[in-house]
Amino acid sequence: MSGQVTFDVYRGAEGETPVRKTVTRELRPNDVFLEMTHSGVCGTDLHFRHADITLGHEGVGIVKQVGPAVKDLKVGDVAGFGYIRQVCGNCMECLTGWDQYCSQAVAYGNADFDTGSFSHGAVLDARCVFKIPDEIDPADAAPLMCGGATVWTVLDQYGIKSTDRVGIMGIGGLGHIAIKMAAAMGCHVVVFSSSESKRQEALDFGAQEFHILRRGEKFEGKMEPIKHLLLCGNAQIDYDAVIPLMAPNSAIYPLAVDFNPSKIILFNLVMKGIRIQGSVVVSTTEMRKMLKFCALHKITPQIEKFPLNETGMTDAMARLVEGNVRYRAVLVAQN
C-alpha cells in the first residue's frame, strides 16, 4: 500500500512545552507508517528541545501501512526506530557494517524534521525500522533504540572479551543498561559512581565491584586496572583522574555528548598505550543483534512512564534536566 498519511507530531519550541502540529507524508515504496505507542526521552532530545523539529528518536509503535517494496515488516508488527532514519546502503561504511557513519545518512536533527518519536505517527524507511521481539515489552524497547544501542556497539564491536574488566562510569540512563549488558556477556563489571546510594542498585544490575569516584577527586583505593571503560555520565571528564584506573593497552569510550574541549595530557595516554575511542549509536545489523541479545537475556531498562502528550513531554524533559529520572523516561500513548 502507498499513498499519503496524516498524523500529529510535537516539535521543539522557544518555551519548555513542545508544540503540536499536523503533518501529511507520502508513503514511498520502501516506507512504513508506524503508529507511535511509546517513545524514550533521551539526553539528546534536550539539545533539540528549542529547535523547530519533531522531537524524539527512541520510537516504538505498531506498523499500520507498508510500501510495496517492504519485505521484512508487515501490518500489525511492533517495531521501533532510533537515531538513524535512512542510509544509502552503497558506501564503504554501509557495506562493511558501519552504516551509522554513512555520509548520506538521514539522522535525528540533521534532516527530515517532520519525523520523530514525540508524535502519534512516523513514516520511515523500513530498512531503519526494526521488529521488536515478542519477549520485550514495547515500553522497555523504546530506550533500547538509542540508549541501549549506544552501549551495545561499544560492548560488541570493539574487542571486549568475557575475561575483561569492564568499567562503567555513571549509573544513569546509559550506565545502568551497560551494566546489565556487560554482565550478561560474562565480563567482570566495575562501576564508578559519585553516589553511595547507587551501590546496591549497581550490584543488583550485575556489577561485581562498586567504587566511589567524585568529580575533582583522585581514586584512592586499591583495584585491578580496567581494560575497557565506558563513560556514561558527565560529559566533561577529568581524564587526569580516569587514566590511572586504566590497564596498559586499554580503551576509554566517551559516550556522553559535549561540545566543549576536554583537557587531556597526551603523554599519559602514550606511556600506557591507552586509546580514546569515539562511538555513535549503532548499525542496522548491530541493532538487530542487540534486540535478540536483550530478548535472550531478559535485559530491560528501568523506566518511569509519562503520557505521550505535551504535559508528559514537558514533565519528562524537566525531570531529565534535573537528573531525577531513574533511569529512563518513556512516553506512553493514551488510549
Does residue 294 sit within a domain? no
**Per-residue model confidence (pLDDT) at position 326:** 92
Residue 281 falls inside a structural domain: no
Q: Which residue has the cell 518555551?
A: 15
Same domain, 271 and 309: no
Q: Where are the beta strands (DSSP E) in 232-315?
A: 246-254, 275-276, 303-307
**246 and 163, same structural domain?**
yes
Task: Please give the Cα distance from 222 to 85 (Å, whole number).
Answer: 45
Domain for residue 74, yes or no?
A: yes
Same domain, 235 and 317: no
The set of residues, in sequence order, having a beta carbon less than 8 Å from that of 81 and lying 6+ positions away, is 34, 57, 59, 117, 122, 124, 128, 129, 130, 145
Q: Is the domain of 179 the same as that of 98? A: no
Is 90 domain-assigned? yes
pLDDT of residue 150: 98
The answer to the question of residue 153 being in a domain is: no
What gap in Å lies between CA 177 and CA 318, rounded to an integer? 22
Grid coordinates standing for 187? Answer: 565480563
Q: Give the CB-side neighbour count of residue 146, counting CA atoms within 13 A.
A: 27
What integer pLDDT is reported at residue 256 of this predicted model?
87
Same domain, 130 and 232: no
- Measure the CA–CA gap between 12 and 15, rounded to whole angstroms: 8
154 assigned to some structural domain:
no
Give the pLDDT of residue 238: 87
Residues 176 and 97 grouped into a single domain? no
CATH label of the domain that carries residue 201? 3.40.50.720
Q: Cβ(40)–Cβ(145) under 8 Å?
A: yes
Question: How many other C-beta atoms are found inside a 10 Å radius of the C-beta of residue 291?
Answer: 23
Written as nine digits, the cell of 134 is 515478542
Same domain, 124 and 189: no
Domain identity same for 84 and 209? no
Q: What is the pLDDT along the chain (335 residues), one digit of tens a residue?
A: 568 999 999 999 999 999 999 999 999 999 999 999 999 999 999 999 999 999 999 999 999 999 999 999 999 999 999 999 999 999 999 999 999 999 999 999 999 999 999 999 999 999 999 999 999 999 999 999 999 999 999 999 999 999 999 999 999 999 999 999 999 999 999 999 998 999 999 999 999 999 998 877 888 888 999 999 999 987 778 899 999 999 999 999 999 877 888 889 999 999 999 999 999 999 999 999 999 999 999 999 999 999 999 999 999 999 999 989 999 999 999 97
Do 74 and 108 sit in the same domain of this protein? yes
Backbone angles phi, psi at 150, to 5 degrees: -65, -45
My answer on whether 164 and 237 are in the same domain is yes
In a domain, 237, yes or no: yes
What pLDDT does residue 272 have?
97
Q: Is residue 261 part of a domain?
A: yes
Q: CA 146, CA 39: separation in Å to the nearest integer?
A: 11
Overall domain count for the chain: 2
Q: How far apart are CA 154 and CA 296, in angstroms?
A: 19
| 9 and 138 belong to one structural domain | yes
Pairing verdict, β 226-231 and 165-169 = parallel
Residue 2 is predicted with a pLDDT of: 63
Q: CA-CA distance, 196 to 198, in Å (whole number)?
A: 5
Widest CA span in the chain? 64
Which CATH number goes with the domain that contains 134? 3.90.180.10
- Do 79 and 107 fall into the same domain? yes
Q: What residues are paired with 5 via a beta bridge?
A: 25
pLDDT attached to residue 233: 87
Q: Could you tell me the residue range of the domain that residue 184 belongs to?
A: 159-276
